[in-house]
């Protein structure tokens, strides 16, 4: 039998930290490994697989478009890209879209847009304020934007023009705002940072501060967008409108695509200011259109709200039973169990052995972000595994 782990060690630069199953097949919320073991997937490919694995309508759209036109240069109009822009505009407070291939690229584009905005509207201002414990991607500039020293240390000197300040603290943003500031960029729920939910008052104050100072408010909805938090986009729960929003992950639900959405007043780009070879290709845009059809047909934001509420209740029952759990937090189907001790990695490993995939986002925090199509029975199965894992760990 092929030793895939050994071949990976030999040929890939990316290393998994401990032996992992080789996943070969997926359907709905389930994954199967090469030995035909089944796993309930509450990681969802890092909050990507909104519709579960290989959803039929998306596979059909992908195959149809692949047979018709996969890619052409962006000097020509292509229809899926225009339709996707129109659709996203109709669903949001934005008027313009730009498509890329990943989350980091969407945020890079947002920062480039903000810098151009600073250049033409704010006397050359260029600095973007971001939050500590944020996560905006792995390109060099996004490592500088990401407020996590661990990701920054190996790459210093980092690109200039970012300040990382405390999250949920408006004073920190006010203090960091200088003449050179052009934008504030935030997640509404910090996913990688441990599922930290932004306070309503904080986000409203940030909006007000940006209005007073003429700054762009960029919201990174790469993890929270497309229904995960219980509304199509999380900003819709905060009663504010950002100037710019970035999307990726769930937009393609398994096919790579990212997007930048902007209000008219923030669209300061002229031809040639930014570009991409693959961004907005017909294949990715057809998939995203099919994903949006499914999100609407299945009413997934509402399902994420209701199933998320059920999952939260069931996790709080676990909290009542296991004192090692300090807190359950999150929005919709982006939830975290906070432990009082650094047991998260053990919980993840033990859950994997019992057929449940969850993620240790810190040593003390387990994150759950299942496909939005999960039913109560899947939630019950996941909670049962976690209960059994905690019984074993605390025995």
Q: Which residues bind ligand PLP (CB under 6 A)?
A: 46, 102-104, 107, 135-137, 187, 191-192, 220, 222-223, 248
Q: CB of 34: closest distance to ligand PLP in angstroms?
A: 26
Q: Which is nearer to ligand PLP, 289 or 369 (CB)?
A: 369
Phi, psi of 328, rounded to the nearest 5 degrees: -120, 130
- Smallest separation (angstroms) from ligand PLP to the CB of 258: 6
* CB closer to ligand PLP, 1 vs 12: 12
Tell how strand 96-100 and strand 127-131 pair up: unpaired
CB of 130 to ligand PLP, least distance (A): 11
Residue closest to 56 by CA, chosen among 304, 355, 293 = 293
Closest CB to ligand PLP among residues 250, 301: 250
The kind and range of the H/E element at 271 are: none
Buried-exposed string 41-63: b where 16+ CB fall within 10 A, e elsewhere: bbbbbebbbbbbbebeebeebbe
How far apart, in whole angstroms, are the C-alpha atoms of residue 280 and residue 258? Answer: 9
Q: What's the min distance (Å) between Cβ of 220 and ligand PLP?
A: 5
- Nearest CB to ligand PLP, comparing residues 185 and 266: 185
- Report residue 141 CA to chain centroid gap: 18
**For the chain, give me the number of helices (H) and strands (E)?**
13, 17
* Nearest alpha carbon to residue 145 among 174, 109, 121: 109
Q: At 313, list the tokens.
A: 């209740």
Q: How far is the CB of 297 from ligand PLP (least distance, A)?
A: 26
Residue nearest to ligand PLP (CB): 103
For ligand PLP, the closer of residues 222 and 325 by Cβ is 222
Q: Which is nearer to ligand PLP, 125 or 183 (CB)?
A: 183
Minimum distance, C-beta of residue 167 to ligand PLP, in the bound complex (Å): 13
Residues with a known catalytic role: 135, 220, 249
Of 156, 148, 143, nearest to 132 by C-alpha is 148
Q: For residue 345, give every residue at least 6 positions away whose Cβ sits within 8 Å of its Cβ, in sequence order, or none.
A: 360, 363
Beta strand pairing call for 127-131 and 162-165: parallel
């Amino acid at each position: 039998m092929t030793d895939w782990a050994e071949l990976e060690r030999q040929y890939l630069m990316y290393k998994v930290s401990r032996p992992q199953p080789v996943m070969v097949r997926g359907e709905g919320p389930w994954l199967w490994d090469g030995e035909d073991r089944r796993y309930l997937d509450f990681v969802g490919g890092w909050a990507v697989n909104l519709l579960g694995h290989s959803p039929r309508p998306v596979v059909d759209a992908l195959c149809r478009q692949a047979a018709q036109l996969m890619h052409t240069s962006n000097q020509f109009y292509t229809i899926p890209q225009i339709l996707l822009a129109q659709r996203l505009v109709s669903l949001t407070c934005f008027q313009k879209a730009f498509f890329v291939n990943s989350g980091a690229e969407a945020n890079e584009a947002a920062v480039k847009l903000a810098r151009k905005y600073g250049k033409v509207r704010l006397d050359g201002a260029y600095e973007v304020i971001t939050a500590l414990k944020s996560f905006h991607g792995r390109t060099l500039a996004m490592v500088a934007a990401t407020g996590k020293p661990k990701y920054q240390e190996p790459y210093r000197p980092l690109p200039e023009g970012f300040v990382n300040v405390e999250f949920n603290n408006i004073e920190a943003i006010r203090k960091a705002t200088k003449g050179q500031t052009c934008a504030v960029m935030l997640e509404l729920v910090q996913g990688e940072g441990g599922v930290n939910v932004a306070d309503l008052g904080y986000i409203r104050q940030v909006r007000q501060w940006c209005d007073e100072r003429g700054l762009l408010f960029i919201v990174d909805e790469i993890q929270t967008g497309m229904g995960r938090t219980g509304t199509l986009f999380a900003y819709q729960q905060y009663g504010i409108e950002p100037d710019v929003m970035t999307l990726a992950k769930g937009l393609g639900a398994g096919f790579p695509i990212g997007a930048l959405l902007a209000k008219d007043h923030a669209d300061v780009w002229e031809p040639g200011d930014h570009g991409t070879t693959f961004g907005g290709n017909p294949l990715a845009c057809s998939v995203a259109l099919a994903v949006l059809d499914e999100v609407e047909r299945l009413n997934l934001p509402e399902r994420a709200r209701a199933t998320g509420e059920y999952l939260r209740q069931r996790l709080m029952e676990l909290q009542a039973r296991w004192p090692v759990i300090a807190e359950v937090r999150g929005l919709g189907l982006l939830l975290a169990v906070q432990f009082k001790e650094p047991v998260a990695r053990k919980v993840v490993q033990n859950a994997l052995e019992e057929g449940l995939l969850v993620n240790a986002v810190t040593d003390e925090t387990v994150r759950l972000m299942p496909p939005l199509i999960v039913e109560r029975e899947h939630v019950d199965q996941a909670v049962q595994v976690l209960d059994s894992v905690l019984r074993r760990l605390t025995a």
